[in-house]
Amino acid sequence: MNLNQILETTAQEIPQKTAIILGSQRITYRELEETSNRIANALIESGLEKGEHVALLMSHCPEWVINYFGVIKAGGVAVLLSTALKAPELDSMLRDSDTKIIITESQFPRMLSAVLPNLPRLKQVLEVDGGSYKTMLAGSSTLSPNVAINDEDKATIIYTSGVLGRQKGVVHTHDSLMGTPSIVSAGIGRGREDVVIDPVPFFYLFGLSEVLFGSLITGATVVIIPQFTPRAVLEAIEREKGTILFGVPAMHNALAMLRGKVIKSYDLSSLRVASTAGAKTSPRLMKMLENKFGLTLCETYGLSELSVVSMSTLTDQRLGTVGKPICDLKIIGDDGKKVATGEIGEAVFKVPWAMKEYYKAPELTAQVFKDGWFYTGDSVRMDEDGYLEYVEKKSFIIVTPAGLKISPWEVEDILLRHASVAEAAYVGVRGAHDRLVPTAFIVLKEGRRVTGEELATLCYQNLADFKLPKRFEFVESIPRTGSGKINRRLLQEG
């Protein structure tokens, strides 16, 4: 089954079943199918050809789903953009991705105004809440467009700084995106009668593949939480009788720390399982979550390049681990040899559903793929029972509690743009309760001055909020290794 057949198949079987809910807005599978067909036919009519790139810059809402499938059904490649990004970041990604059409909302074009003139391939910007978009759809057919799509065709590009520490477009095909949703659904027992509570945006692979695709394939209902708050989640579970809750560890942590009195004021009896991915979890807090909510927590581990590679299931889980691998795994040391059970090493996977490539970056693709094995840069260890524990990013990429990855090099590049900065190093420094505090170490040019506030403003103007340094430290020099690289481990240890 290709991605373009997901909605068609489920809509034929259960056309009147509710597919997506956002507040009072309810969309059936038939409406989802027909409206996405309208968009696909309108895009084709406007000149979109098979394989061309369409960027989605939209909030977490049903219209995101409809337009994504519209692009896919038209034979396009959907370029997924985070709404947390700022103009300089979007400029880089839109140019790199060769985007022809941008589908967005009226709240974003003002930010894009400085970017759009620099995009040579861009032909059209569509605002889904604008009059011209509605006019375009009004006369468009609800029938599925006649576009031949193969499993190996490119479907989606997701930008990440995950493995190599620099932004790059992960290219997924229809086949690679279809690899894990059914596996995850089986592991958490997701079926047609389930109601999925989802605060995870679809522009992340976790939200797109495991939450959205897995739910649509099984015919479940997805309840969208546009902005995560514990109260919004509790209200949605009670109102819609939610059975499965997805989220990153930071979300589950916030729920676990709620007072029992607050939790008991809601009817949460329908909830039976929670699924998490994106960052390392706290076994203590996850046990609190299970006890307070009376559910089973299933943890998954994956990457934008590979989707899920290891997971817990309802019948086989161990808190503090990411369950057991669902594909071939080697754990190797710096010498390239397998480490002993219980020892830390780099996770290297051979995955049938791996990405096709990094877009326009064959040299980067070759760095991570070697003889069919993907080198993750993640430090892990496996216990004697086969349960895998994620330890940390080998490359010192900073991972926020919400599972968002920050490339130190990206932030350092912005800091070095300031005329007073001679050297910069961005490191996650261990703080209270063993939490990483993103810290910028700054060496000033001789005779120059700058304040932390000024550097914070520079970062704010050029970086997404989750990437911003939490602390600035002005130092005489930055320690380096024998080869001249920043000694990040030394900085991290303080």
| Residue 443: pLDDT over 60 | yes
Q: Which two tokens stand for residue 11?
A: 């809509």
Where b means 16+ CB within 10 Å and e means fewer, 157-188 reads bbbbbbbbbebbbbbbbbbbbbbbbebbbebb
Three-point CA angle 17, 19, 24, nearest 5°: 100
CA distance 413 to 467: 13
Nearest to 377 by CA among 163, 166, 161: 163
What are the start and end residues of each CATH 3.40.50.12780 domain in the chain? 3-149, 182-393
Helix extents (H) in 209-359: 214-218, 230-240, 249-256, 260-264, 283-293
What are the start and end residues of each CATH 3.30.300.30 domain in the chain? 407-493
Give residue-wise pLDDT tens across range 382-430.
999 999 999 877 767 788 888 887 878 889 989 999 999 999 999 999 8
Cα-Cα-Cα-Cα torsion 139, 63, 360, 331, nearest 10 degrees, comes to: -150
Query: Which DSSP state fits 8?
Result: H
- pLDDT-derived band at 482, boundaries 50, 70, 90: low
Nearest to 289 by CA among 247, 328, 243, 257: 257
Predicted pLDDT of residue 484: 64
Predicted pLDDT of residue 110: 81
Strand partners, 160: 168
CA distance 380 to 342: 9
Confidence (pTM): 0.88
CATH class entry, domain 407-493: alpha beta
Decide if domain 3-149 falls under CATH 3.40.50.12780: yes
How many CB atoms lie under 10 A from the CB of residue 3?
Answer: 24
Strand partners, 349: 329, 374
Predicted pLDDT of residue 483: 56
- pLDDT-derived band at 165, boundaries 50, 70, 90: low
For 182-393, the fitting CATH number among 2.20.25.90, 1.10.443.10, 3.40.50.12780, 1.10.10.10 is: 3.40.50.12780
Q: State how far the alpha carbon of 87 is from the alpha carbons of 72, 94, 112, 118, in Å.
A: 26, 10, 6, 12
Q: Which two tokens stand for residue 136?
A: 């375009």
CA distance 464 to 246: 24
pLDDT average, residue stretch 307-335: 96
Helix extents (H) in 294-371: 362-368
Report the relative pairing of strands 296-303 and 357-358 from DSSP bridges.
unpaired
